[in-house]
Amino acid sequence: MSSETNEPTELAICMGSSCFSRGNKRNIKVIQEYIDMHGLCGKIVLKGHLCEGLCKKGPNITVDGEVYSSMEPDSLMFFLDDHIKVPE
């Protein structure tokens, strides 16, 4: 987490078929709920990207350029609490 900066957190979700079917389809909804819940609309850059060849470790989500693997929808909210900075 880089809470020292005022830059918005960039979340990039792998939209490749493997990651998408293994959890990122639900993870997108979880992230959107999280953004709504915490009033982070416009404060997080949310992107999708194509398969990066890390399918076996998926579903993968990249936060500020760092890839996180095995991102299960059920525990994603906790991960977001730890990795998303809320701009002042």
Contacting positions for ligand FES (CB under 6 A)? 14, 16, 18-19, 51-55, 58, 60
Count CB neighbours of 51 within 10 A. Answer: 15
- Smallest distance, Å, CB 63 to ligand FES? 15
CA atoms 48, 66, 75, 1: torsion sign: negative
- Smallest distance, Å, CB 14 to ligand FES? 3
- Smallest distance, Å, CB 1 to ligand FES? 23
Q: For ligand FES, give the closer residue by CB, 52 or 64.
A: 52
Q: For ligand FES, give the closer residue by CB, 60 or 85.
A: 60
Q: Report which secondary-structure segment, H or E, holds 34.
A: helix 25-37
Count CB neighbours of 75 within 10 A. Answer: 11
